[in-house]
Amino acid sequence: MDTRKRHIAKTITWRIVATGTTFILTMFFFREDPNATEKASWVALIETIFKMALYYYHERIWFSYSTKMKSTVRHLFKTITWRVTASVTTFIIAYTIFREDPSAMEKATGIALVESVLKMLFYYLHERAWHASKFGLK
């Protein structure tokens, strides 16, 4: 049985991977902005705060959803539901922070699309690693 301690640890480890990826992508897409580093840092900070809470509740919802689904299929569905939630959140944050940029909509969309592909892979690997781990299990 999973414990809250395990879900908190998964939240923190995923946030490290995900926030680093978002920061790098934001820097890449908005590299012409003279304040790109500062603004990308704000995107990463705001994302960290919001997404840690969202991720924790995503974990709790999936934990409460009992199923006989094979673990690899379950992890794939978890990956998709999380990625949609997370990419929409990243788009909103990046667009809001860089809204003065005339291409903010296109660049925020680019971040969301590229991160969708990269982070789905990273998230799936993260889920598989945690599935192999016994940390926080009773």
Provide the Cα torsion 27, 59, 120, 37; round to 10°: 0
Q: Give the total number of structural domains in the chain.
A: 1
DSSP assignment letter at 101: S
Separation of alpha carbons 79 and 128, rounded Å: 11
pLDDT tens for the 138 residues of the chain, in order: 567 888 889 888 988 998 999 999 999 999 999 999 999 999 999 999 998 889 889 988 888 876 777 888 888 888 889 889 989 999 999 999 999 999 999 999 999 999 999 988 998 899 899 989 988 887
Q: In whole angstroms, what is the distance from residue 62 CA to residue 75 CA?
A: 10
pTM greater than 0.95: no
* Residue range(s) defining the domain that contains residue 16: 4-132
Give the Å distances, CA to CA, from 10 to 1, 60, 99: 15, 12, 32
Residue 138 resides in a domain: no
Classify residue 123: in a domain, yes or no: yes
